[in-house]
Amino acid sequence: MELIRRIKHRVGYVWWWRAKHWWLDTQQGAVARILVLVMVGVAGAVQGVRAVIAAATPRDPAQPQQAIIWIVVWLVVALLVGVAVALSMGNKAADPVDAANKGPTTQDGQSVKRHYGTVWVDDPGMAAWRVVGRDPIKASGGK
C-alpha cells in the first residue's frame, strides 16, 4: 500500500510539477508552446479548407429535407420536455421573497465572534474565513 501511495505522489505531484516548470519556466518550454501554437493553427487552417470544400461540393437534393425533418423532431421533443419541467415546478419560481430569505444584517456595537476549528455556526453574519477580533462595529468613519 505504501508503494502505491508513493507512486501516486510521484506521478501526481512531482512529475506534474516538473512538467509545469518545464512548460512555463524554461526556454525549451517556450519553444514547445510556439510549436503547439503553430500546430493548432495549421490544424485549424486544414479544417477550414476542408469545411470550404465540403460546402462547395454538390449534395444529394433529398438530404437537406431529411435534416430539417430531424431538426423539427428534436425541437418538438425539447419543447415537450421544457413544458413538462415547467408544469412540474408549479408557481415555485413566482413566489415573492419573504422576510426569512433576506441576507444577514449588522447592528451598531455588535461584536464579531471568533471561531476556532471546524464548528457549526448558526449566526448568519459569518462572512469570511479569517482571524477577526472582538472590536465592535462603529457607526462613524473613525473620526
pLDDT, tens digit, 9 for 90 and up, residues 32-80: 999 999 999 999 999 999 999 988 888 776 666 677 888 899 999 999 9
| Domain boundaries, position 1 | 1-55
Taking the C-alpha atoms of residue 82 and residue 71, their distance in angstroms, rounded to an integer, is 16
Taking the C-alpha atoms of residue 73 and residue 112, their distance in angstroms, rounded to an integer, is 59
In-domain check, residue 124 = no
In-domain check, residue 107 = no
Which one has a higher pLDDT value, 46 or 113?
46
Taking the C-alpha atoms of residue 132 and residue 111, their distance in angstroms, rounded to an integer, is 10
CB neighbour list of residue 104: distance below 8 Å, 6 or more residues apart = 124, 125, 127
Nearest to 135 by CA among 105, 114, 104: 114
In-domain check, residue 66 = no
Q: How many helices (H) and strands (E) does the chain have?
A: 4, 0
pLDDT, tens digit, 9 for 90 and up, residues 1-37: 688 888 887 777 778 888 889 999 999 999 999 999 9
In-domain check, residue 143 = no
In-domain check, residue 133 = no
In-domain check, residue 87 = no
In-domain check, residue 71 = no
Domain count along the chain: 1
For the question of whether the overall pTM of this predicted structure is more than 0.85, the answer is no
Grid coordinates of 10: 510521484
